[in-house]
C-alpha cells in the first residue's frame, strides 16, 4: 500500500494537518501537500477511470503532465471538473470527486467496454459512420454520447471573479527552475524589466529532488540565495503559481496566475490572466519524463520514476514498500537510490540496455540493489493496483523468465524537453539522437517584428540535462536575449556523468499483437501501441491524421506523456525515421486554463458596454421594453400595466398622430464636418447635392459605399458656410465617422476638412404630432417657431424653456415634428420639463417600434430593413435623391455597371394584403416554375411589414421585379406554414401622400 | 438651464483602497488644426495660459489643461461653464486658419482613480504600459479600456485622471470599481 513515511517531505509542514474529502470519504494531509500526494499518502491508488474502456487509473506523474488524476473539485457555484490532482494544492476542506465512472469508482459498469475493446479500435468512431449505416444514428452515437466527457459540466453560475493584468517587460523568464533563475540573475543585472514566472508554488524545479549541488552547496541554498538576490533587484519581479500558457506573435505571452485556488475563502480573484508584452522570452520550462510501453503499464501503481521520487522527497510519501524500477537510462537509478535511502525496498532495477556501468548504476549496486540489464517487463500483474511484475528479455517476444512481487513500478523511457512554448509561435525542433528527444533548434527560433529571435529556450527545455550545463545554458539564454554578454559566469554543479540511454519504444522489442493491445500510450484517451500500428496499416502516414484517427494526444493533457512514444511507434510502423514523421502541432494553452480567466472581468453587468442616453434612467423607471441597437438600449415601447407590447405600440402611434408623442432620439449619429472644402466633401459623401444647401436649412441625403450600395441615410443641417452637421443612423455613427476619416486621410488628404463625432454631446428629442408646436410654445421659445418663421426642413438655435437648444424641423413620422437637440448634461431636465408641459396634450413617449411603423406608413425606408448591403438607392425609388448634375460621388461609377443599372433589379413598392392581414417578414413573392433545386422561383421579397393602427390593416414594403410598373397586380407571398398570402402592389406611401400633416 | 446640468453619473464614488470617482461636469473642447501654426499656439497661450503640448503630452495649470490627441487634434480642459465662451473665443482667434473647434464637454465623462494601486487597477483593463517608467506625469495616453476607448494621464502620486465617452460612463465606472476591488492587489508596479 502507499503511505506517508515517518520522515522526509521537503515541501510539507507536518505540524499543519488539513482535512479533505475524496468521494465523500474524509482524509487527512499536510500543508504543502498536493491533492495527489495527500491521496497517495492515504493509500488512495485508484483515482479515476479511463475515457474509453473505463480502466482503473492512478497517479502516473507528479506535475502538469499528469494524464489520469483528474477530479471534479468543489461544489455548487465553486464546482469545476477536470482539475489535475498533481497541480492542486491541498487546502482544509477541499472536496474532490473522481470522474468517469458509474455507479461508483470501485464498481464501474463501463468497464465492460474493456472487454469490447476489439470493437473500439483505432478510428472506431469514424468507422461507425460507414457501416452499417443506420447503426450510427440509432446505436453508436447515443452510446458514444452517453460515455463521452470526463468531468461533469458545472450547473451553477461561477461564484468567483477573474481578471486580466497587462504587463510590459524587456524579458519574461518562463520557468523558475535553476535554468530560469540563472537566466534571471544574469538578465536582472542589466537593469531592464524582467519578470520571472513559475507554474508551481515553489522555486528551483527538480534540482533539490535530484540531489544537485551548486557551487558546492545543496541546490536549495543556491535557490534561496538567488531568490534573495533577485528580490533585491528593483527591476525584477517574481511570481509563483503563474504558468506560461501561450506564446504569440510580437512577444505577446499569456500567463495564468492561480490566486484563489489554494485559498478559496479569500475574497480575491480566483485566476488572473497576465497579458504580457515581452521584448524577449526565455522558456526554461524543464523536461517531462516518458513512460515505457509494456503490458499493463496503465495499472495503478505504475508511475514515472522521477515522479515517484518526487513523492518520496517532496512529500514523504511512498507509493509502496517494494518498487521495481524499469528504465532505459541512468536517471531512473536516482529513484532507486532515493527509495532505498528512505528505507524502502527496490527488488530490482530492470534496465533494457545490454549493460549499465555508469556512476549511478554503480551507486545503486553499492546499495545492494539488483540490476538486471537487457531485461524488460513482460507484464504488470494486478487490477486496481500493482501486485507484481513478470520479467523477460528485452530482445525477445516476452517469454517470462521470472516473477517479482511489488506494489509499485517506477518507469523511465527518457526525457522530453518541454518545447511547447518554444513551438507555439513557430519555433522549430531538432531531433536529438543522444537523448532520443526533440529539442529547440536555435537557428529556427520564433521571430519578432524585427526579424530577430524573441524566444530563447534554456536548460532542460533546451536539451541541456546535466546541472552545470543547465546553469550555463540559463546564462547563455540571458545573453542571447539581450544580445550582450551578461556579467558573471554560471556556477558549477556536481554533474554525475550518465551513460547513453537506449531508445526503447516497446517492451519487449518483439512483443506480439495481443501484448501490444495492452500497452498504453495515451492513458487518458485509451490509445495503445496496437491502435497506432493499426492506423499506420490503414494508411495514416501523417502524424496529424494519425492523431485525430486514434485520438492520441487529444485528451486534456494534450499528449504530454504520449506524443513522443506515439510518433516513435508510428515511425516504426511506417519504417521511417522519427524526425521524418515529425511532431503534431503544439498549441496554446500549455495546460488547460479556466474559461473564467479568459473572460476576465467581462461578465454580469460589465460583460459588454451598455450605452445609455441622458434619458435612459427615465425609460428604465417607466418600465420600457428594451431593444438593443448596437451597444445602446432603446425603448421598443412603454407598456402600461397589463398592456401587451403590440397594444402599447398601437397606443403610442395613435396618441402621436392624434395629439403629441415624444421620442428619445439621442442615439442618432451627429458628426460635424467643417472646412473650406467641406461642401465639396459633402457632395462626394452624399448621392445628392449638399453644397447648395443654405445655412439654416436641412436636407435628407443618402450615402453609398464606393461599391454603390446604400449604407446610411439621414438629415444634413448646414450650420454656416464652412460647417455641416451630419445626422447618421444610430448604428452608423461610428463607422460613418470612420468612413469620412478614411477618405480624408487616405484619399483626399489635401482637402481642408475636419470632422468631429459629437453624437454624445447632445440629447435629442423628437416632439411629434399636431400639438408639437403648442407644447414647445408653452415651454417658451426665445424665437418664433411658426410655419412661416421656421418652415419644414429648416433649423434654428434658440432657447426653449430656458434650455439651450437647436430646433430642427424634420419629420420621420409624417407629422408636424421638431427634433430638439439639448446639451447632454441638460437632456434629462429638458425631458422632464417637456413631460410636465405636455401633460395637458396627453404627451406619450413612444419607442422604436412606433417609430418604425410610422415611417413605414409614410413609405420612408429604413437602413437595415429596406437595405441589406446589396441594395442601391435606385432600387428604392430614391432616384430623386441622386444628383444628375454632379460629376462624381462615392458609388456613382459602381452604379453605372451593367448589373447595377439593369431594369430587372427588384424595385421598392408598397404591398397590401387582400384580406388586410400582415404579411410575414422576409416572405418571398413566388413566381412561376421552380429552380434547379426544386424550389419555387421568386420575384420579390418583403422588407418591412407591420400592422398599421392608423389605417387598421397590414402594410408592407418590398422589393419586386419591375414592381413600380405593376401597380395593382396581385402577388402570392410565402408563409412559414407553407401557405400563401395574396397581396396587391401599391404605392409605398400609405399615409398622407401629399405631406399635408408634416407641413403645417 | 445650465443650472440643471448634471454629469453622466452625477459624481458617483466607489470607495476603497483605490477610490474611483466621477468628477462631475468638466469643460472639454476639441480643437483640430495644423498644430505647428503659430497662431494656434498664441491663441492657446492667450486663452488658457498654456503652451503647446508635445506629442502625447498634456500641459496643465490650474483649471486648464491642453492635451495632444493626434497630429492634428488637441483637447482643452476648462471649467464646464466656461466652455461655450472659450469655444467662441478660440473660433474667433483662429478665424484666419483652417480649424475646427467644438465643445464636447457633454460628450464625455471624467474620472479620478486614486490611492495606492491606482496604476494596477487601471492596468487590469488597458493594454497600455502603465509602468511608472513608461507612463509619467505629463503624458496623456489614448488607449482602450476593456471594450471602450479612453484617455488617461497621471495627475500626481497615486492619482490618475481618465476620460471616456458619456454613454459608457456607467460601464467604465463599474469596470474600474471592479478592478480596484480589495483582494485584487497585484503588487507589480
Q: The C-alpha cell of B45 is what? A: 497661450
- In chain A, the residue whose alpha carbon lies closest to the alpha carbon of B81 is A825
> B98–A237: do the CB atoms touch at under 8 Å?
no
pLDDT at A149 over 60: no
Find cell 412559414 and name the residue.
Answer: A976
The distance of A754 to chain B (nearest Cα, Å) reads: 6
**If pLDDT is split at 50, 70 and 90, which confidence band does A481 have?**
very high
- pLDDT one-digit tens code per residue, A743-765: 999 999 999 999 999 999 999 99
Note the pLDDT of residue A541: 87
- Least confidently predicted of A267-276, A397-406, A577-586, B172-181: A577-586
SS (H, E, C) A173-240: EECCEHHHHHHHHHHHCCCCCEEEECCCCCCECCCCCCCCEECCEEHHHHHHHHHHHHHCCCCEEEEC
**If pLDDT is split at 50, 70 and 90, which confidence band does A99 have?**
confident
For domain B2-24+107-179, the question of CATH label 3.40.1640.10 is answered with no
Mean pLDDT, residues A492-510: 95
Helix (H) / strand (E) element for A982: namely strand A980-986
The distance of A751 to chain B (nearest Cα, Å) reads: 11
Residue A194 to residue A198: CA distance in whole angstroms? 13
Domains B2-24+107-179 and B27-106 share a fold: no
The residue ranges of every structural domain in chain B are 2-24+107-179, 27-106
pLDDT at A140 over 90: no
Q: Which chain B residues are Cβ-neighbours of A825 within 8 angstroms? A: 2, 5-7, 25, 80, 105-106
- pLDDT one-digit tens code per residue, B53-80: 999 999 999 999 999 999 999 999 999 9
**Best residue in B3, B4, B120, B141 to probe A by mutation, most A CBs within 10 Å?**
B4
pLDDT at A554 over 90: no
Torsion angle of the four alpha carbons A548, A549, A550, A552, in this order, in degrees rounded to the nearest 10: -10
- pLDDT one-digit tens code per residue, A180-239: 999 999 999 999 999 999 999 999 999 999 999 999 999 999 999 999 999 999 999 999
* ipTM of the shown complex: 0.97
**Best residue in A632, A671, A756 to probe B by mutation, most B CBs within 10 Å?**
A756
> A606–B146: do the CB atoms touch at under 8 Å?
yes
Q: Give the three-state DSSP class for A247.
A: strand
> A606–B1: do the CB atoms touch at under 8 Å?
no
pLDDT at A110 over 90: no
> B167–A612: do the CB atoms touch at under 8 Å?
yes
Higher pLDDT, A42 or A48: A42
**Best residue in A824, A827, A836, A837 to probe B by mutation, most B CBs within 10 Å?**
A824
- Give all domains of chain A, ordered by start, each with its CATH number: 1-158 (3.10.20.440), 162-287+416-482 (3.50.50.60), 291-413 (3.50.50.60), 512-581 (1.10.10.1100), 615-846 (3.30.1360.120), 900-986 (2.40.30.110)
**If pLDDT is split at 50, 70 and 90, which confidence band does A142 have?**
low
Mean pLDDT, residues A955-961: 98
Q: Rounded to whole angstroms, what are the CA distances from A172 to A111, A227, A283, A588, B131?
A: 46, 16, 8, 17, 15
Query: What is the average pLDDT score of chain A?
Result: 94
Q: Which chain A residues are Cβ-neighbours of B72 within 8 angstroms? A: 754
Note the pLDDT of residue A102: 64
**If pLDDT is split at 50, 70 and 90, which confidence band does A556 have?**
confident
pLDDT at A319 over 90: yes
Q: Rounded to whole angstroms, what are the CA distances from A688 to A715, A810, A863?
A: 12, 18, 17
Q: The C-alpha cell of A820 is what? A: 430638439
Size of interface A-B (CB pairs under 8 A): 145
- Our measurement of the distance from residue A725's CA atom to the centroid of its chain's CA atoms, rounded to an integer in Å, reads 41
Q: How many CB atoms lie within 10 A of CB A651?
A: 19
The distance of A393 to chain B (nearest Cα, Å) reads: 57
Find cell 520550462 and name the residue.
Answer: A285
For residues A408 and A389, the answer to whether their CB atoms sit within 8 Å is: no
Of A167, A277, A609, the CB nearest to B171: A609
Of A168, A754, A830, the CB nearest to B129: A168
> B107–A758: do the CB atoms touch at under 8 Å?
yes
Find cell 460621388 and name the residue.
Answer: A889
- In chain B, the residue whose alpha carbon lies closest to the alpha carbon of A633 is B167
Q: Which chain B residues are Cβ-neighbours of A672 within 8 angstroms? A: 100, 102
For residues B103 and B80, the answer to whether their CB atoms sit within 8 Å is: no
Percent of chain A, pLDDT > 90?
89
pLDDT at A326 over 80: yes
- pLDDT one-digit tens code per residue, B14-24: 999 999 999 99
For residues A781 and A802, the answer to whether their CB atoms sit within 8 Å is: no
Residue A10 to residue A311: CA distance in whole angstroms? 10
**CA-based nearest residue to B140, from B69, B48, B62, B76:** B69
Q: The C-alpha cell of A329 is what? A: 537510462
**If pLDDT is split at 50, 70 and 90, which confidence band does A336 have?**
very high
Helix (H) / strand (E) element for A41: namely helix A35-41
For domain B27-106, the question of CATH label 3.30.70.1520 is answered with yes
Q: Which chain B residues are Cβ-neighbours of A168 within 8 angstroms? A: 129, 131, 134
Contacts 24+ apart (CB under 8 A), A261-268: A261/A88, A261/A89, A262/A89, A262/A90, A262/A91, A262/A201, A263/A91, A264/A74, A264/A78, A264/A91, A266/B183, A267/B182, A267/B183, A268/B183, A268/B184
Amino acid at each position: 500500500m502507499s503511505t506517508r513515511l515517518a520522515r522526509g517531505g521537503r515541501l510539507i509542514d507536518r505540524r499543519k494537518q488539513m482535512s479533505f474529502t475524496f468521494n465523500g470519504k474524509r482524509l487527512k494531509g499536510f500543508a504543502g501537500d498536493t491533492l495527489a500526494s495527500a491521496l497517495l499518502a492515504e493509500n488512495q491508488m485508484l483515482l479515476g477511470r479511463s475515457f474509453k474502456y473505463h480502466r482503473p487509473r492512478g497517479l502516473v506523474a507528479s506535475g502538469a503532465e499528469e494524464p489520469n488524476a483528474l477530479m471534479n473539485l468543489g461544489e455548487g457555484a465553486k464546482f469545476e471538473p477536470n482539475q489535475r490532482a498533481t497541480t492542486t494544492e491541498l487546502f482544509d476542506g477541499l472536496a474532490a470527486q473522481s470522474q468517469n465512472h458509474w455507479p461508483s469508482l470501485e464498481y464501474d459498469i463501463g468497464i465492460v467496454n474493456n472487454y469490447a475493446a476489439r470493437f473500439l479500435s483505432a478510428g472506431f468512431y469514424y468507422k461507425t459512420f460507414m457501416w452499417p449505416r443506420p447503426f450510427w444514428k440509432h446505436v453508436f452515437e447515443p452510446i458514444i454520447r452517453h460515455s463521452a466527457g470526463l468531468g461533469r459540466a458545472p450547473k451553477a453560475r461561477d461564484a468567483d471573479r477573474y481578471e486580466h493584468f497587462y504587463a510590459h517587460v524587456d524579458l519574461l523568464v518562463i520557468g523558475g527552475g535553476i535554468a530560469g533563475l540563472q537566466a534571471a540573475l544574469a538578465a536582472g543585472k542589466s537593469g531592464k524589466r524582467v519578470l520571472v514566472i513559475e507554474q508551481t508554488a515553489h522555486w528551483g524545479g527538480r534540482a533539490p529532488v535530484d540531489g544537485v549541488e551548486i557551487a558546492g552547496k545543496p541546490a536549495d541554498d543556491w535557490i534561496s540565495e538567488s531568490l534573495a538576490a533577485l528580490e533585491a533587484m528593483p527591476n525584477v519581479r517574481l511570481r509563483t503559481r503563474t504558468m506560461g500558457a501561450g506564446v504569440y506573435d510580437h512577444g505577446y505571452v499569456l500567463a495564468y496566475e492561480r490566486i484563489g485556488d489554494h485559498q478559496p475563502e479569500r475574497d480575491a480573484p480566483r485566476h488572473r490572466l497576465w497579458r504580457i508584452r515581452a521584448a524577449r522570452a526565455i522558456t526554461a520550462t524543464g523536461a517531462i519524463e516518458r513512460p515505457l510501453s509494456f503490458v499493463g503499464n496503465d495499472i495503478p501503481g505504475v508511475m514515472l520514476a522521477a515522479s515517484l521520487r518526487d513523492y518520496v522527497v517532496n512529500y514523504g510519501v511512498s507509493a509502496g514498500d517494494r518498487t521495481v524500477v524499469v528504465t532505459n537510462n541512468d536517471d531512473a537509478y536516482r529513484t532507486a537510490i532515493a527509495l532505498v535511502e528512505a528505507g524502502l525496498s527496490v527488488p530490482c532495477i530492470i534496465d533494457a540496455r545490454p549493460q549499465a556501468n555508469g556512476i549511478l548504476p554503480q551507486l545503486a549496486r553499492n546499495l545492494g540493489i539488483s540490476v538486471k540489464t537487457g531485461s524488460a517487463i513482460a507484464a504488470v500483474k494486478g487490477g486496481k493496483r500493482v501486485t507484481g511484475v513478470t520479467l523477460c528479455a528485452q530482445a525477445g517476444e516476452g517469454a517470462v523468465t521470472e516473477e517479482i512481487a511489488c506494489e509499485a513500478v517506477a518507469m523511465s523511457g527518457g526525457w522530453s524537453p518541454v518545447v511547447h512554448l518554444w513551438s507555439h509561435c513557430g519555433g522549430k525542433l531538432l531531433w536529438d539522437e543522444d537523448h532520443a528527444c526533440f529539442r529547440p533548434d536555435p537557428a529556427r527560433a520564433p521571430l519578432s517584428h524585427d526579424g530577430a529571435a524573441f524566444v530563447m529556450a534554456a536548460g532542460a527545455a533546451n536539451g541541456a540535462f546535466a546541472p552545470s550545463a543547465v546553469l550555463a545554458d540559463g546564462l547563455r539564454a540571458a545573453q542571447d536575449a539581450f544580445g550582450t554578454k551578461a556579467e558573471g559566469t554560471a556556477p558549477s554543479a556536481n554533474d554525475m556523468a550518465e551513460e547513453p540511454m537506449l531508445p526503447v519504444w516497446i517492451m519487449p522489442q518483439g512483443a506480439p499483437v495481443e501484448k501490444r493491445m495492452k500497452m498504453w500510450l495515451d492513458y487518458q484517451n485509451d490509445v495503445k501501441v496496437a491502435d497506432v500500428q493499426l492506423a499506420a496499416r490503414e494508411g495514416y502516414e501523417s502524424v496529424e491524421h494519425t492523431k485525430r484517427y486514434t485520438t492520441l494526444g487529444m485528451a486534456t493533457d494534450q499528449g504530454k506523456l504520449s506524443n513522443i512514444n506515439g510518433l516513435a511507434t508510428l515511425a516504426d510502423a511506417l519504417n521511417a525515421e522519427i524526425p521524418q514523421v515529425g511532431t503534431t502541432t503544439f498549441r496554446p494553452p500549455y495546460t488547460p486554463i479556466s474559461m473564467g480567466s479568459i473572460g476576465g472581468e467581462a461578465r454580469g453587468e460589465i460583460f459588454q458596454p451598455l450605452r445609455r442616453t441622458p434619458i435612459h434612467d427615465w425609460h428604465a423607471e417607466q418600465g420600457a421594453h428594451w431593444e438593443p441597437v448596437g451597444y445602446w438600449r432603446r425603448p421598443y415601447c412603454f407598456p402600461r400595466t397589463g398592456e401587451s407590447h403590440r397594444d402599447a405600440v398601437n397606443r403610442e402611434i395613435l396618441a402621436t398622430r392624434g395629439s403629441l408623442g415624444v421620442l428619445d432620439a439621442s442615439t442618432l449619429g451627429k458628426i460635424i464636418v467643417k472646412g473650406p472644402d467641406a461642401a465639396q466633401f459633402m457632395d462626394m459623401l452624399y448621392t445628392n447635392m449638399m453644397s447648395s444647401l443654405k445655412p439654416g436649412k436641412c436636407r435628407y441625403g443618402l450615402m453609398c459605399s464606393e461599391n454603390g450600395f446604400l449604407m446610411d441615410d439621414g438629415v444634413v443641417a448646414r450650420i454656416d458656410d464652412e460647417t455641416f452637421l451630419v445626422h447618421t443612423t444610430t448604428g452608423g455613427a461610428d463607422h460613418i465617422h470612420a468612413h469620412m476619416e478614411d477618405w480624408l486621410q487616405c484619399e483626399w488628404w489635401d482637402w481642408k476638412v475636419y470632422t468631429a463625432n459629437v453624437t454624445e454631446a447632445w440629447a435629442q428629442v423628437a416632439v411629434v404630432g399636431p400639438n408639437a408646436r403648442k407644447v414647445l410654445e408653452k415651454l417658451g421659445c426665445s424665437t418664433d417657431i411658426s410655419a412661416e418663421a421656421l418652415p419644414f426642413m429648416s433649423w434654428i438655435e434658440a432657447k426653449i424653456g430656458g434650455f439651450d437648444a437647436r430646433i430642427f424641423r424634420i419629420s420621420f413620422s409624417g407629422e408636424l415634428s421638431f427634433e430638439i437637440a439639448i446639451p447632454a448634461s441638460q437632456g434629462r431636465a429638458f425631458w422632464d420639463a417637456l413631460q410636465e408641459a405636455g401633460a395637458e396634450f396627453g404627451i406619450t413617449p413612444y419607442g422604436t417600434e412606433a417609430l418604425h411603423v410610422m415611417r413605414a406608413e409614410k413609405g420612408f425606408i429604413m437602413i437595415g430593413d429596406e437595405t441589406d448591403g446589396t441594395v442601391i438607392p435606385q432600387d428604392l425609388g430614391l432616384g430623386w435623391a441622386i444628383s444628375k448634375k454632379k460629376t462624381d460621388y462615392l458609388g456613382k461609377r459602381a452604379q453605372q455597371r451593367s448589373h447595377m443599372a439593369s431594369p430587372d433589379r427588384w424595385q421598392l413598392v408598397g404591398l397590401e394584403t387582400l384580406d388586410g392581414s400582415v404579411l410575414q417578414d422576409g416572405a418571398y413573392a413566388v413566381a412561376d416554375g421552380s429552380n434547379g433545386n426544386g424550389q419555387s422561383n421568386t420575384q420579390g421579397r418583403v422588407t418591412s411589414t407591420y400592422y398599421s393602427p392608423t389605417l387598421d390593416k397590414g402594410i408592407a414594403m418590398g422589393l419586386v421585379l419591375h414592381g413600380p410598373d405593376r401597380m395593382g397586380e396581385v402577388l402570392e407571398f410565402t408563409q412559414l406554414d407553407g401557405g400563401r398570402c395574396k397581396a396587391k402592389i401599391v404605392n409605398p406611401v400609405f399615409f398622407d401622400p401629399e405631406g399635408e400633416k408634416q407641413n403645417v | 438651464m445650465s443650472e440643471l446640468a448634471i454629469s453622466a453619473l452625477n459624481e458617483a464614488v466607489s470607495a476603497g483602497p483605490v477610490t474611483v470617482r466621477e468628477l462631475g461636469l468638466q469643460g472639454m473642447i476639441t480643437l483640430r488644426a495644423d498644430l505647428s501654426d503659430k497662431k494656434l499656439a498664441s491663441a492657446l497661450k492667450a486663452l488658457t495660459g498654456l503652451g503647446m503640448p508635445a506629442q502625447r503630452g498634456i500641459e496643465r495649470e490650474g483649471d486648464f489643461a491642453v492635451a495632444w490627441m493626434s497630429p492634428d487634434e488637441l483637447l482643452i480642459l476648462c471649467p464646464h461653464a466656461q466652455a461655450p465662451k472659450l469655444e467662441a473665443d478660440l473660433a474667433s482667434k483662429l478665424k484666419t486658419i483652417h480649424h475646427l473647434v467644438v465643445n464636447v464637454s457633454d460628450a464625455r465623462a471624467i474620472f479620478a482613480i486614486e490611492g495606492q494601486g491606482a496604476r494596477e487597477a487601471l492596468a487590469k483593463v488597458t493594454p497600455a504600459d502603465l509602468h511608472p517608467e513608461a507612463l509619467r506625469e505629463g503624458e496623456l495616453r489614448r488607449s482602450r479600456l476593456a471594450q471602450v476607448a479612453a484617455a488617461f494621464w497621471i495627475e500626481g502620486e497615486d492619482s490618475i485622471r481618465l476620460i471616456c465617452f458619456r454613454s459608457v460612463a456607467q460601464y467604465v465606472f463599474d469596470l474600474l470599481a471592479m478592478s480596484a476591488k480589495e483582494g485584487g492587489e497585484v503588487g507589480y508596479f
